Amino acid sequence: MSSFDESDAFESASLATRAMAARPTPYLDDLNPAQREAVEALEGPVLMLAGAGTGKTKALTTRMVHLLNTNTARPNEILAVTFTNKAAREMKMRVGRMMGEAVEGMPWLGTFHSICVKLLRRHAELVELKSNFTILDTDDQLRLLKQLVAAANIDDKRWPARMLAGIIDQWKNRAWTPDQVPAAEASAYDGKGVALYKQYQTRLRELNAVDFGDLLLHMVTIFQTHDDVLEQYRRWFRYILVDEYQDTNVAQYLWLRLLAGGHRNICCVGDDDQSIYGWRGAEVGNILRFEKDFPGATVVRLEQNYRSTPHILAAASGVIAGNRDRLGKELWTQAEEGEKVRLIGHWDGDEEARWVGEEIEAFHSGTSGVAKRRDNVRSTSATQESERIAKGGKRSQNREGDIHEINLQRTEALSEQGKSNLPRPRTFGLDEIAILVRASHQMRSFEDRFLTIGMPYRVIGGPRFYERMEIRDAMAYFRLVVSPADDLAFERVVNTPKRGLGDKAQQKIQVTARQNGVSLVEGAAILLEEKGLTGKGASELAKLLEGLRRWGRLVGDKDVSHVELAEMVLDESGYTEFWQMDKTPEAPGRLENLKELVKALEGFENLQGFLEHVSLIMDNESEEVGEKVSIMTLHAAKGLEFPAVFLPGWEDGLFPSQRSMDESGLKGLEEERRLAYVGITRAEEVCTISFAGNRRVYGQWQSQMPSRFIDELPEDHVEVLTPPGLYGGGYGAAGGGLGTIESRVAEANVYNSPGWRRMQARSQQRPMSQPQEARDMVIDAQAVSAHEMGERVFHQKFGYGAIIGIEGDKLEIDFEKAGVKKVVARFVTGADDIPF
Residue choice 127, 520, 636, 683 for contact with DNA (CB under 7 A) = 636
Nearer to DNA, 308 or 442 (CB): 442
Nearer to DNA, 189 or 428 (CB): 189
Interacting positions 305-334 with DNA (CB under 7 A): none
Catalytically annotated residue among 244, 271, 339, 685 = 244
How far apart, in Å, are the Cα atoms of 281 and each of 111, 166, 278? 16, 11, 5
Catalytically annotated residue among 77, 243, 348, 470 = 243
Q: Are strands 78-82 and 239-242 parallel, antiparallel or unpaired?
A: parallel
- The least distance separating DNA from the CB of residue 138, rounded to whole angstroms, comes to 6
Nearer to DNA, 86 or 744 (CB): 86
464 lines the binding site for DNA (CB under 7 A)? yes
Nearer to DNA, 272 or 385 (CB): 272
Dihedral, 352, 354, 357, 361 alpha carbons, nearest 10? -120
CA distance 633 to 438: 6
212 lines the binding site for DNA (CB under 7 A)? yes
CA distance 506 to 498: 13
818 lines the binding site for DNA (CB under 7 A)? no
- The least distance separating DNA from the CB of residue 43, rounded to whole angstroms, comes to 29
Residue 564, Cα to own-chain centre: how many angstroms? 36
List alpha helices for 137-190, DSSP H: 138-151, 161-173
* Residue 682 among the catalytic residues: yes
* Residue 274 among the catalytic residues: yes
* Residue 202 among the catalytic residues: no
Q: What's the CA angle centered on 392, arms 389 and 395, to 5 degrees?
A: 45
How far apart, in Å, are the Cα atoms of 33 and each of 296, 298, 707? 20, 14, 38
Nearer to DNA, 308 or 620 (CB): 620
543 lines the binding site for DNA (CB under 7 A)? no
1 lines the binding site for DNA (CB under 7 A)? no
Nearer to DNA, 324 or 583 (CB): 583
- The least distance separating DNA from the CB of residue 377, rounded to whole angstroms, comes to 32
What string marks each residue from 16 to 55 as x (binds DNA by CB under 7 A) or -?
----------------------------------------
At 800, phi and psi to the nearest 5?
A: -85, 150
For residue 41, count CB atoms less than 10 angstroms from its CB and return exposed for 0-12, middle for 13-18, buried for 19 or more.
Answer: middle
Interacting positions 108-137 with DNA (CB under 7 A): 111-114
- DSSP for 637-657, please give it: HTT--EEEEEE---BTBBTTB
- The least distance separating DNA from the CB of residue 548, rounded to whole angstroms, comes to 19
CA distance 32 to 35: 5
* Residue 419 among the catalytic residues: no
Bridge partners of 459? 631
* Residue 595 among the catalytic residues: no
704 lines the binding site for DNA (CB under 7 A)? no
85 lines the binding site for DNA (CB under 7 A)? yes
CA distance 574 to 594: 13
- Closest CA relative to residue 744, chosen from 710, 717, 774: 717
- Closest CA relative to residue 431, chosen from 270, 605, 628, 248: 628
Interacting positions 785-804 with DNA (CB under 7 A): 799-800
Interacting positions 347-386 with DNA (CB under 7 A): none
At 428, phi and psi to the nearest 5?
A: -120, 135
Bridge partners of 823? 811
Interacting positions 612-631 with DNA (CB under 7 A): 616, 618-619
Q: What's the CA angle centered on 614, arms 611 and 618, to 5 degrees?
A: 165
- Closest CA relative to residue 539, chosen from 501, 487, 582, 488: 501
665 lines the binding site for DNA (CB under 7 A)? no
Three-state secondary structure call for residue 758: helix
Catalytically annotated residue among 25, 40, 57, 829 = 57
CA distance 114 to 120: 10
Nearer to DNA, 44 or 500 (CB): 500
- The least distance separating DNA from the CB of residue 468, rounded to whole angstroms, comes to 11
- The least distance separating DNA from the CB of residue 111, rounded to whole angstroms, comes to 4
Nearer to DNA, 701 or 766 (CB): 701
The residues that touch DNA, with contacts defined as CB under 7 A, are 83-85, 111-114, 138, 156-157, 212, 276, 279-280, 438-441, 461, 464, 495, 498-505, 537, 616, 618-619, 633, 635-636, 657, 659-660, 663-664, 668, 696-699, 799-800, 817
> Which residues have a catalytic role annotated?
56-57, 243-244, 274, 682
